[in-house]
Amino acid sequence: MVDLIIIGAGPAGLSAAVYGMRAGLTLMVMEETPMGGGQVVDTHEVDNYLGLPGINGFELGQKFRQHADAQGAVFQSGSVVRVCDGGDRKVVETADGARYEARTVILAGGAKHAQLGVPGEDSYRGRGVSYCATCDGAFFKKRDVAVIGGGDVAVEDAVYLARFCRKVYLIHRRDSLRAAKSLQNKLFSCENVEVVWNSTLQEIGGSDLVEEITVRKSGEEEERKIAVEGVFIAVGMRPNTEPLRGTVACDETGYIIAGEDCATNIPGIFAAGDIRTKSLRQIVTAVADGACAVASVEKYLSSVIE
Ligand code: NAP
């Protein structure tokens, strides 16, 4: 049995690993895919991480991983299906039937892309529908594409795609964007981006591959068809909390309820990064959570030993 199992190897999990190793804890980091790295590795450019302006997301993810490796953190691949609370003995179970025991657990599994649930979204996934512009954008050089959403990710994606796509339609359901002003300024300076305001995606159509989308302006009956070969959906994230339901308290949208100290309602189980309730989900806040969660782990362990 180790002192700490960290579930997730994104910025929050890796930061927790660095702080945990430096605190002299015995620990293991569980990751779903080897060298996964979390959402940051799919980000084209990170321009707001202190001290590293404009760094490529994959490169930043690699640096985080190398830092945890250098501290001697042990990694274990496995898809976690259940976390059980046995008081001072927590049990983490994986899909292949393995069981790992620890005195404490930090849940740092992050979040995944939300789906819209429109016709064609599932059937054209990988055939024109994507949730990651950095991963799939290069397939659409000199083509027309659409990005759905109005947050940081959608606007970043649209700016990124505008560099090499012929035309980018940004479909947003309101008349103003949620994205940071600095990103909006970049967007509005792209000549080949058309923002389709107050509009929602109704359907994705085509033959073998995506050929068009149907959008509808709010309050209007008439629909508009737009010829595109790629559709990038960026309508927010959903926390990866399915295996934890019933173990720790979550809010109505599925995020684990935990404050700045990362403590959940279960003593000895902590939540760090995008998986917990918080007002700002950024790499820097995830990294900070990793540190805070380990401080809480140390406090908990010393209280249990006393
Ligand atoms: P987000 O900020 O939640 O934005 C989601 C966008 O999708 C919103 O514009 C929302 O519209 C729209 N949307 C949601 N459901 C929809 C639906 N059913 N139909 C149509 N549109 C829908 O999510 P995100 O952009 O994925 O960002 C996630 C988090 O990562 C955020 O906290 C963000 O700040 C952070 N992030 C930061 C950076 C950066 O700082 N460089 C980069 C990437 C991500 P409404 O606006 O109308 O609600």
Estimate to the nearest angstrom the gap between the alpha carbon of 13 and the chain centroid. 13
- What's the pLDDT tens digit per position in 186-210? 999 999 999 999 999 999 999 999 9
Position in ligand 1 atom list of the atom nearest CA 234:
26
- Centre of ligand 1 to C-alpha 177, Å, is 9
Q: Reading across the β-sheet that carries 223-227, which strands appear in turn?
A: 199-206, 210-217, 223-227
Position in ligand 1 atom list of the atom nearest CA 117:
18
Tell which residue, 149, 38, 109, has the closest CA to residue 272.
Answer: 109
Position in ligand 1 atom list of the atom nearest CA 183:
41
Task: Give the residue, by CA position, lying nearest to ligand 1 atom 3.
Answer: 236
Residue 82 predicted with pLDDT over 90 = yes
Which position among 3, 84, 132, 190 bears the catalytic label?
Answer: 132
- Centre of ligand 1 to C-alpha 145, Å, is 19
Q: How confident is the model at residue 34 (pLDDT cuts 50, 70, 90)?
A: confident
Annotated active-site residue 250? The verdict is no
Rounded CA-CA distance 44/19 in Å is 27
- Mean per-residue pLDDT of the chain: 95
Q: Is 132 helix (H, G, I), strand (E, B) or coil?
A: coil
Write down the pLDDT at residue 190.
98
Task: Give the residue, by CA position, lying nearest to ligand 1 atom 29.
Answer: 281
Ligand 1 pocket residue status of 121, Cβ below 6 Å: no
Residue 294 predicted with pLDDT over 70 = yes
Task: Summarize the confidence of residues 108-116 as an average pLDDT.
Answer: 94
Annotated active-site residue 190? The verdict is no
- Centre of ligand 1 to C-alpha 155, Å, is 9
pTM: 0.83
Residue 305 predicted with pLDDT over 80 = no
Task: Summarize the confidence of residues 127-141 as an average pLDDT.
Answer: 92
- What's the pLDDT tens digit per position in 222-281? 999 999 999 999 999 999 998 887 889 999 999 999 999 999 999 999 999 999 999 899
Write down the pLDDT at residue 203.
98
Terminal CA-to-CA distance of the chain, rounded, Å? 19
* Percentage of the chain modeled with pLDDT above 70: 100
- Centre of ligand 1 to C-alpha 238, Å, is 11
| Pocket probe mutation, ligand 1, options 148, 178, 216, 232, max atoms within 8 Å of Cβ | 178
Residue 36 predicted with pLDDT over 90 = no
Annotated active-site residue 208? The verdict is no
How would DSSP label each residue in 191-251?
TTEEEETTEEEEEEEESSSEEEEEEEETT---EEEEE-SEEEE---EEES-GGGBTTB-B-
Which position among 136, 152, 157, 289 bears the catalytic label?
Answer: 136
Rounded CA-CA distance 262/247 in Å is 15
Residue 306 predicted with pLDDT over 70 = no
Task: Summarize the confidence of residues 144-171 as an average pLDDT.
Answer: 97
| Pocket probe mutation, ligand 1, options 235, 238, 255, 275, max atoms within 8 Å of Cβ | 235
Which position among 135, 175, 251, 261 bears the catalytic label?
Answer: 135
Radius of gyration for the alpha carbons in the chain, expressed in angstroms and rounded: 21
